[in-house]
Amino acid sequence: MKRLRLYGLLAAGMVLATCPATLLSARPAQKAASPAKAEPARKPRNVVFILLDDLRYDGMGFLQPELRTPNIDRLARGGTYFPNTVVTSSLCSPSRATILTGETARNHGIVDNANSSEAGLTFFPSYLQKAGYQTAFIGKWHMGNDVDTPRPGFNKWVSFRGQGSYYPASGDPDAAVQGGETTMWNVDGKKVAQQGYITDELTDYAMNWLEKERDKSKPFFLYLSHKAVHSDPLPPPRYRHLYDRTDFKIPASAANTPENYKGKPMWVYNQRNTWHGIDFFFNTDMKMTEYLRYYYGALAAVDDSVGRIADYLKANGLEKDTLVVFTADNGFQIGDHGLIDKRTAYQASVRVPMVMYEPGTVPAGVVNSGRIRNLDYAPTFLDLAGVEKPAQFEGVSAWPLITGKVADKDWKAPDFTYEYYWEWAYPMTPGTFAIQRDNLKYIQYYGVYDTDELYDLARDPDEMHNLIDDPAYLQAKVDLRKALYQQLANRDGRHAIPYGERNAIGSVRRNRAGTGAAPFPDSWLVEPNRVDRKDNVLPDSIAKQRAHDEGKAFVRFPVLGSPEANANAGIKD
């Protein structure tokens, strides 16, 4: 673990491999934070879990000085920042289902943002209730047939259908779907009209529950799920012009250059000129630098919300008894590899912001490089509450890592396995499966005529150099492929590809004057009738690689009717 400094991470040039160097600044070495001492018997711990929508991993002021997030920065300064926090499915509904159930998408069955069923699922707050906790869900639910009705496991419920609307009469399609100009809340089963800006109003509900409605004799779990900063992000009036003069930068990999696309799958280039591509995102001609002014303006309101909650905890003597968790349901690409949005297995998509704060329990001012998956949240919350882990939970408790009882260098993080199932609504992103073991990440795609990817994140944190055909990584590729397939089996041992009902063509439009399609890789372009034409479908191996290095076919497969084929078949011309 390493000390964190506001607007700069850490000591004497020591840089985490997964943190862009441009976001880090050196400072004199400090004494390492001591792990929290064993706690005496104490009352059960409270939790405030703050979940954002689509906030990218570096969207906080202590990582980007141009951002104004003083309250989030306050949590980081007094708590721990976890830069290697990732989601097992980088899409709203599947990720939220994983958080709530402690299961992967292949097992909880919510694999897209459409009408996935919640039948048979148990949400972890139900276990906390049985242990005596008061629980509240306030905000965006966004799964389970898009309904806003209260779910089991929560004493307090405030939610809305679908994505909700930033303003009650914003004209958003979501508001129209809900049957009128005004967005309606479901407050404990009753319909209540939205009155104001969504982030502020959700925080009002959260504060009212904390201050007046909960049973203060019991520990509590508050799940505050913001709409912000999901598209199209609208700031409140007070922050409408906050970033008018800010010159936001986009990643260097956004540029359409041969160097940026060398070794990349064809689908990545083909997505530039689509709904989720940097050249035509959301089918508009807006520049990402302009979009980010709205995006981070909406985040400023969330920062106010964080401040209100943190101030309440401190003023009421709850600060040292309450774990505050600040994170997001998935990452967000702002031009990384020419892409926007999430869904992919690239770092900007799967990494999420994660700050945890509890004075005296969570080490202060620390950067902890241990990997945490959203799959691990539910078992962690039950662990800190002293509740036994249910059999269906697939993750592990990260509480020893969070408290510093296990150092990040000693943390044995499980493989990070990623799954995204193709959606007809956004068909430009293929089905994607990936596995990261230590610093090696292998990515494969389902149902596309394209190449796989392999990256050494320690040497290449921006995933610019695809090692999939590098002989030095052949055995690693073979091993990771096998492990990925094994780990993608569901609890019944089956490998199933779920899919939803198609009811439209999906987002297939391209800018008429924009970029076209990618060419096939040069190595794929060959002459006909080669005798090694079967080799590419035979399993990769050292022996096959050795034959190719010697310019030979691994298995000769002559063309039908050729002299060699006839001879092999015992046919004499």
- CA Rg value for the chain: 25
Mean local confidence (pLDDT), 392-403: 98
**pLDDT at res. 569:** 83
Least reliable range by pLDDT among 109-113, 285-289, 388-392: 109-113
The backbone region for 512, taken as left when phi is positive above 0, alpha when psi lies in -120 to 50, beta otherwise, is alpha
* Residue finishing a domain among 380, 413, 446: 413
Partner residues linked to 324 by β-bridges: 48, 357
Sequential DSSP letters for 407-430: -GGG--PPPEEEEE---SSSTTSP
447 in a domain, yes or no? no
Note whether residue 372 is domain-resident: yes
Domain CATH code at residue 68: 3.40.720.10
Q: Is 37:479 a contact under the CB 8 Å cutoff?
A: no
- In this structure, the answer to whether residues 368 and 228 fall within a common structural domain is yes
Does 471 have pLDDT greater than 80? yes
Distance CA 321, CA 466 (A): 46
Q: Residue 504: inside a domain, yes or no?
A: no
Tens digit of each residue's pLDDT (9 = 90 or more) over 228-254: 999 999 999 999 999 999 999 999 999
- Determine the Cα–Cα distance for residues 92 and 112; give it in Å rounded to an integer: 8
Q: Is 308 exposed, middle or buried (0-12, 13-18, 19+ CB in 10 A)?
A: middle
386 and 526 co-located in one domain: no
DSSP code for 209: I
For the chain, the first-to-last Cα distance in angstroms comes to 74
Regarding whether 196 and 66 lie in a shared domain, the answer is yes
Which pLDDT value is given to residue 100?
98
Instruction: Determine if the peptide bond prior to 229 is cis (ω within 30°).
Output: yes
Q: What is the pLDDT of residue 147?
A: 87
d(CA 539, CA 551): 18
Q: How many CB atoms lie within 10 A of CB 334?
A: 24
Of 395, 413, 431, the domain-final residue:
413
SS3 214: coil
Pairing of the two strands 366-367 and 2-5: antiparallel
Residue 200 lies in a domain: yes
Written as six digits, the tokens of 213 are 């409605």
Q: Which residues contact 292 (CB under 8 A, 6 or more apart)?
A: 243, 248, 334
Task: Examine residue 483 and state whether it is found in any structural domain, yes or no.
Answer: no
User: Taking the mean position of all CA atoms in its chain, how far away is CA 8?
Assistant: 23
The residues, ordered by sequence, that sit 6+ positions from 92 with a Cβ below 8 Å of its Cβ are 53, 54, 113, 142, 143, 230, 329, 330
Q: Is 27 within the bounds of a domain?
A: no
Tokens of 443: 């990515």
Q: What is the distance between the alpha carbons of residues 91 and 110, in angstroms, rounded to a whole number?
A: 10
Q: pLDDT tens for residues 407-465?
A: 999 999 999 999 999 999 999 999 999 999 999 999 999 999 999 999 999 999 999 99
Per-residue model confidence (pLDDT) at position 572: 82
C-alpha to C-alpha distance for 418 and 73, rounded to whole angstroms: 29
CA distance linking residue 509 with residue 369, whole number of Å: 41
Q: How many structural domains compose the chain?
A: 2
| Residue 475 counted as domain residue | no
Which token pair is 459? 């040497």
Residues 403 and 526 in one domain: no
| Cα–Cα dist 116/161, whole Å | 14
Task: Measure Cα distances from 127 to 132, 148, 154, 491 in Å.
Answer: 9, 22, 10, 21
396 plus 530 within the same structural domain? no
Token output for 398: 């990260």
User: DSSP code of 506?
Assistant: -
Asked if 17 and 458 touch (Cβ cutoff 8 Å), the reply is: yes
- The answer to whether the CB of 106 falls within 8 A of the CB of 94 is no
- Cα dihedral 79→19→8→403 (10° resolution): 20
Residues 6+ apart with CB under 8 A from 204: none
Give the residue-averaged pLDDT of 475-488. 98
The whole domain housing 537 covers 522-569
Last residue of a domain, one of 413, 439, 461: 413
> For the residues 475-487, what does the mean pLDDT come to?
98
Residue 154: both structure tokens together? 């929560």
Residue 96, domain member (yes or no): yes
Assess whether pLDDT exceeds 60 at residue 12. no
Work out the percent of the chain whose per-residue pLDDT is above 70.
90
**CB contact burial 450-460 (16+ within 10 A = b; e otherwise):** bbbbbbbbeee
Same domain, 408 and 553: no
User: Does position 17 have pLDDT exceeding 50, yes or no?
Assistant: no
pLDDT of residue 74: 98
For Cα atoms 182, 186, 187, give the angle at the middle one, nearest 5 degrees.
120
Q: Is the peptide bond before 232 cis (omega within 30 degrees of 0)?
A: yes
